[in-house]
Structures are given as C-alpha cells and as structure tokens.
Amino acid sequence: MAKRTFSTLETFLIFLLVMMTAITVALLSLLFITSGTIENHKDSGNHGFPTTQDTIATQASPVTCTPEPPLFQNFSGYHIGVGRADCTGQVADINLMGYGKSGQNARGILTRLYSRAFIMAEPTGPNRRIVFVSVDIGMISQRLRLEVLNRLQSKYGSLYRRDNVILSGTHTHSGPAGYFQYTIFVIASEGFSNRTFEYMVTGIVKSIEIAHENMKPAKIFINKGDVEGVQINRSPTSYLRNPQSERARYSSNTDKEMLLLKIVDLNGDDMGLISWFAIHPVSMNNSNHLVNSDNMGYASYLFEQEKNKGYLPGQGPFVAAFASSNLGDVSSNILGPHCLNTGESCENAYSTCPIGGPGMCIAKGPGRDMIDSTQIIGRTIYQRAKELYASASQEVTGPLASAHQWVNMTDVTVWLNSTHTAKTCKPALGYSFAAGTIDGVGGLNITQGKTEGDPFWDTIRDQLFGKPSEEIKECHKPKPVLLHTGELSKPHPWHPDIVDVQIITLGSLAITAIPGEFTTMSGRRLREAVQAEFASYGMKNMTIIISGLCNVYSHYITTYEEYQAQRYEAASTIYGPHTLSAYIQLFRGLAKAIATDTVANMSSGPEPPFFKQLIIPLIPNIEDKPPIGRNFGDVLEPVKPKYRVGEVAEVTFVGANPKNSAENRTHQTFLTVEKYENSTAAWQIMYNDASWETRFYWHKGFLGRSNATIEWHIPDTVQPGIYRIRYFGHNRKMEILKPAVILPFEGISSIFEVVTT
C-alpha cells in the first residue's frame, strides 16, 4: 500500500487531538482524586430489613483507576476499545422479529438484549480505525444503521462513517420487531415502533461511545476450530444441487468452523472477544413470547459471567460478542425434522408429512424444552470458544482499511463469463417463502420447493396488489412469484433497492459485511472469491470472515443451483437467481480497491432513502389501571415461605404494561432477586432480568388491567439464606386533553428462605 503523508492541516489536527486527549486524561485523573464516596441510602422498612442499596451493581468489584498514556503515544500496535449497552426495546405489545408469525407478540422477558461494540485504531493516524458492533436483535435494518451513523456524525464528525462502521445482528428470533422502514417488514412488525427504534439506536450508539472512551493499547490474537454437535443443514436437498465436485471439497453440509478474535491489553488482562459462527438462533421456537438472545446470546452470557466475576449480567468490563455468519440454511434444532403426529422423519425436498402436510413437519432441539435446548446449544458454543480463546496465540497485526458502497441491487449486470452476462431482478418473494422452514412453519399450508404458482393465491394477490409484470416473473424463474414487492410502493417501497456492501480489514484479516443470510455454500464461494481477489493484487493468505445480517436486511442469498430447488431460502432470495454472483462481483471490487489502495476513487453509490410517516403500531396505548382497592406493585399471589434449590420461587404483582418502561427508563430492570446479608445488614442483588435464572411474564387483562409474574429458577449454586423478589414497573396515566404521563412504581415480595437440602 502507498505510504501515507499528512498535510499541514492534518498534522495540526493530529497534534490537537493528542493535546486534547492528554488534557482529558489529566482532568479525569483529577476527578477521581477529588471525588468523594457516595453514601448508600438505607431505610428500615420491609419486614424489619433495610432496603437495597441504590446502585444495582451491588456485586461489582471496587473500581481502581490508573491513568492511561495518551492514546497515540509509545505504541505501534492497535488501540482498542470495547463497550456494551442495553438495546432491549419493547418487551410487550409488539411482535417478535424472525418467524413472521402473527400473534407471536412479546409478553415479557427472559434476558436483556445488548449491543457489543469494538473499536480498533492505528496509533499513526486518528482516522484509520474500524468499528464492529454485534447486536442481539434479529437483523440490522437500514433505518437503524442510517440513524446510528447520523448520531455518530453529530458527535464525532467524520471519525465513524459508513465505510468503517459495521453493524451486525446476531439473528435472535426472540427480539422485538418494529424498527424497519420497508413496508413488508413494517407489516410483519404490525407497525413501526418508535419507542423500540429509539431504544435500539440509543443502545448501539452508547456501546460505541463506551468503546471510544475506553480505548487503550491492546493486542488481538486469532484462533479457529470446529464446533461439533450444534447444527444441521435444514435444506439438505437444496445443498445437494450444488456440483458434486464442489461438495466433495468439504466434509459437511454446514460450516463448522468458529473464528475467534481474542483481545487483551498490554498487561495481558482480558478485554473481550469476537467470534463468528454459522448457526440460526432458533432454539427458542415460534411459540415463545419472552424477549431473549437465544443460543448465541447465552454463549455471550456465559463467557461474560465467567470473565466479569462479581458483576451482574450486562455489567463488567469484559465484552464477548458471538456474531452471525453464513447461517442461511443452518438450524440449531439438531434432532431434525419430524412429523408431530407420527414421529417419523420428514426430511424431504418438500418438508411435508404424509398426514397433516407441511404444518406437521417441525425440527426440535436436543433439550426437554426450548429453553433447555437454547442452553445446551449455547453452552457447547461457549465451551468451544473458551478453548479457542485460551489457546489463541497468533497475533493479528498490520494496517487497517475499509471500503463501502451503496448498490442498486435491482440493476446489477453480472458477468457469468468473459462473454455472457445476466441481471439481478426487482425484489420478489416466491411461494415457498410462505411455507416457512422446519424451524418455524408458515400458516398457509404451502409446501417448500414450489416451482409453480397457485391460482387461488394468485387471484387473491392480483385483487389486493395487482398482477406482477411479465418482466419480474421472467427474471425470477423458476421462482413462482407470490409477492412482487419490487413493484409495490405504497405507502413506501416494500423492499430495499439500495443495499450496503462493505469490507473492513485488519492486516491479513478481512470482514465482509453481508446484508442478509448467505447459505453455507454461498458463504464458501464468497470467501474463496474475495480471498482470490486479494491474492491477485499481492495480499496473500487473507482470512475472510463472513459477517451476517449487516447494515440492511435483504432476506436470503442462495447459490444459483440451490435457487432452482425453490425451498424457503431460494424463494426468499429476493433479487433473483444471480443474486450471489452479483454480491461476489461487488465484494471482489471492494477487495481490489483495498488491495490497490484505490478506495478513495470508488463511487459511494446511490444513497438509500429515510422515510417519514411510517405505519403506526396497530396496538394502541391505553391507560394502566389497578383493580379497585389495589395499587400498582401490590402482591396478588405471594411466594412460599421456603424453597429448596432446583425449585421455582414465584410471585405475582398488580402490573402495568412493560412497554412503558421503554419510554421512561427510571428502572434498568423489571426485577431483582435479593439476598439479605447479615454481615452488612443490607440486601444484595443477586439476579436481575438479564439473568437466565429469572423469568418475567406479563399477563394482559381488560381495560388497562394486568398482572406481572416473576419466576426465579433457583440454581444448584445458590447460597442458602433469606431472599426477596422486587418488581419494577411503569404505569401510563392519561387525562383528557393532557399528554400521557408515565410513572415509576415498585413492588416487593415477602421474604422467604432458600435451603440446600
């Protein structure tokens, strides 16, 4: 790469940044020296026991502060910052995003969702930095990314930009919907939820801010290894359409390899990790109504709990991101598809049962229920990551670079060979899209693998939306078009035309940010093509990472051969049979630009839109009301006086709609489980709603009345003693001609004893 020289203005700005950093460090040091001790407030209520200390992080270790050297001084490696922030959003009265199942609304919370940010910078130039963010949500929407970039620009200027910031969704199917702008996703979300959108944007930006503020000299080590026993290919007959000579090069019809980056500071202290692995987080099935981060989130939880000893979940300095990869045809329901009514296998090209059809063909995980399956799969992923982390010794070094383009994916000319071209298509969904998958079947009794339309559904479509053009039908063949979304524009376009393609590199490591779900073989082809492109311009032996569900969501990307089978993944490949070839061509262009140091010469492409006046949520806001003679937070069904380990402590309160808590964030959790400590005569928080041992269920009643049930599944590791459960909520108060007011309240259980025998 060409040697970088700096203009007089750039040199002055670098000097100014160094001086500002030094002043900031000095001021922070002075602040810590002069700040006093915050006194914990206590009172003597609640059955003769004092109340909880004000801070939630009662288990946190004492913070010690040692001044760091100025950011770009005395170190030639990377400066790295890590950050984590809550991005949970609405946990009631909103659809869960992933299965597209009507009625699968959130009714509480199993675990919180987090944004995990990692910033890597070169000390030789303040603008040579990259940002990777893994977010515990279904996917990144275009609107989400555009708003995050806008807020980063407002705060940091040109430091964090569209080319050097990657946002990636973990693809949990148990996070809230409602944060999209394209009509098909707004309909699936049953409206646009500004409260969830704002909550997610704020959380993502905050995680980046935390990473930015905590940057310090650090090192990155890379490791790779297979993870066994956690995946199956959910469309094996489609995979078999790929050439036998190509399949013979691989030992499995899924990518088993996990790639992991270990981040430590110069003292050898652990800072965080990023891993990429191809698996669908669908251990929680479409009967679930609790917001949670599924199997990959559980792996993050276990790793962070291990490294952040003494901290509550979601707290502590160590950040562990388990990011998505080419998971398009990869299921975590490893027992495979079976007919619910007969128990027989239904692994066939159409995923259908002899009796009951496709609706009976469902895959299950290894556990006794979906939460157990989630934990089994997540724990196996965590344990393998722990091994790879411990043995990681190959350091990642070298310059940082990034390249990005917006592309109109409806109009890409694809070179099939030196003489023949093909085109991508306007977006359309095929019939098998409505069939769903073995992880979550559709509700229309349509089978996967349909290569012909249905006159009944065609007639309904034509009456509602008009007939698809011959052009779009011809372009998508052999896909029978169910919805010609590329020709629907009211109230806004139904699918994106403009998508992001992006690569960031750290030395010999390249992260490709793909705007959708690549199947196993699609990911392999992209990796090989991008690696070969780098090599042809002198960057040999590059490691190519497929980072999934980044920046904008455009459904699936199958190979051309898989597309012919028209199972769910192919029917959801919205830009037609040559979509993968188009992406390979585009990512090769980015790789060439980085390798030849010509990124500055690239066109940025057509900027995507940011729509106004999106469809409001279908579920209205109403005033919360307690039963007559009751108050919010009153106990309706008390705990028992004593529990043994392995049992479930349960209490029900007079509740209010939890979605209010996404607007008024007075409380940072819906619940705490607290233990009385005799030595300090204080209550210590042991668990909160981010803990996998707790459940928060909201039961919606009539006319604004509702109940909240909290469960604590008492683990074997618990300390015996006296406990209580607290509930934190917000109620909406509405008066005529006045704006609604959201008020915080609390509830508390009676005390109970936990014994081990």
| The CA-based dihedral angle spanning residues 691, 692, 695, 696, taken in that order and rounded to the nearest 10 degrees | 40
**Is residue 416 very low, low, confident or very high in pLDDT (cuts 50, 70, 90)?**
confident
Q: For 307-327, what is each residue's pLDDT tens digit?
A: 999 999 999 999 999 999 999
Residue 580 CB contacts under 8 Å (≥ 6 apart), including other chains: 518, 522, 525, 526, 557, 558, 559, 560
pLDDT in tens, 457-468: 999 999 999 999
Binding-site annotation: residue ranges: 171, 280, 517, 556
* pLDDT in the model for residue 127: 65
- Split at pLDDT 50, 70, 90, the class of 23 is very low
Is the pLDDT at 704 greater than 80? The verdict is yes
Confidence band for 444, pLDDT divided at 50, 70 and 90: confident
Mean pLDDT, residues 479-491 taken together:
97
pLDDT of residue 38: 30
Q: What is the pLDDT of residues 168-217, one digit of tens each?
A: 999 999 999 999 999 999 999 999 999 999 999 999 999 999 999 999 99
> Which residue ranges are tagged as binding site for Zn(2+)?
171, 280, 517, 556
Coil, strand or helix: which one is 558? coil
Rounded to an integer, the average pLDDT of 545-567 is: 98
Confidence of residue 41 (pLDDT cuts 50, 70, 90): very low
Confidence of residue 36 (pLDDT cuts 50, 70, 90): very low
Interval 579-601 mean pLDDT: 97
- Please state, rounded to an integer, the average pLDDT across all residues of the chain: 91
Percent of the chain with pLDDT over 90: 87
| Helical segments of 411-469, H only | 455-465
* pLDDT above 80 (res 529): yes
Q: What is the pTM of this model?
A: 0.90
Lowest average pLDDT, out of 26-30, 171-175, 264-268, goes to: 26-30
pLDDT score recorded for residue 46: 43
Pairing of strands 694-700, 706-713: antiparallel
Residue pLDDT, tens place only, 710-732: 999 999 999 999 999 999 999 99
Give the mean model confidence (pLDDT) for residues 584-599.
Answer: 98
**Cα-Cα-Cα-Cα dihedral sign, residues 436, 438, 439, 445:** positive
The question of whether 750 is a catalytic residue gets the answer: no
pLDDT in tens, 374-401: 999 999 999 999 999 999 999 999 999 9
Neighbours of 453 (CB within 10 A): 17
- The string of pLDDT tens digits covering residues 325-379 is 999 999 999 999 999 999 999 999 999 999 999 999 999 999 999 999 999 999 9
Pair 404, 162: CB distance under 8 Å = yes
Site of tokens 């192919």: 570
Residue among 44, 25, 41 at smallest CA distance from 33: 25
- The pLDDT value recorded for residue 45 is 34
Q: Where are the beta strands (DSSP E) in 570-691?
A: 635-637, 642-644, 648-655, 671-677, 682-688
**Cβ(373)–Cβ(367) under 8 Å?**
yes
Taking residues 635-660, what's their average pLDDT?
A: 98
**Active site residue: 331, 332, 402, 706, which one?**
331
User: What DSSP element (H or E) covers 210?
Assistant: helix 194-213
Q: pLDDT tens digits for 104-155? A: 999 999 999 999 999 999 987 656 999 999 999 999 999 999 999 999 999 9
Which pLDDT score, from 0 to 100, does residue 681 have? Answer: 94
Q: Specify the 3-state DSSP secondary structure of 674.
A: strand
At 190, which helix (H) or strand (E)?
Answer: none
Cβ–Cβ < 8 Å for 66, 24: no
Distance CA 606, CA 499 (A): 9
pLDDT at residue 266 greater than cutoff 90: yes
Q: What is the pLDDT of residue 76?
A: 63
Share of the chain above pLDDT 70, in %: 90
74: pLDDT confidence band, cut at 50, 70 and 90?
very low
**What pLDDT is recorded for position 443?**
82
The residue-averaged pLDDT of 298-313 equals 97
Amino acid 64: pLDDT = 36
User: What does DSSP assign to residue 209?
Assistant: H
pLDDT at 521 over 70: yes
Cis ω on the peptide bond leading into residue 491 (within 30° of 0)? yes
Determine the longest span between alpha carbons in the chain, in angstroms.
85
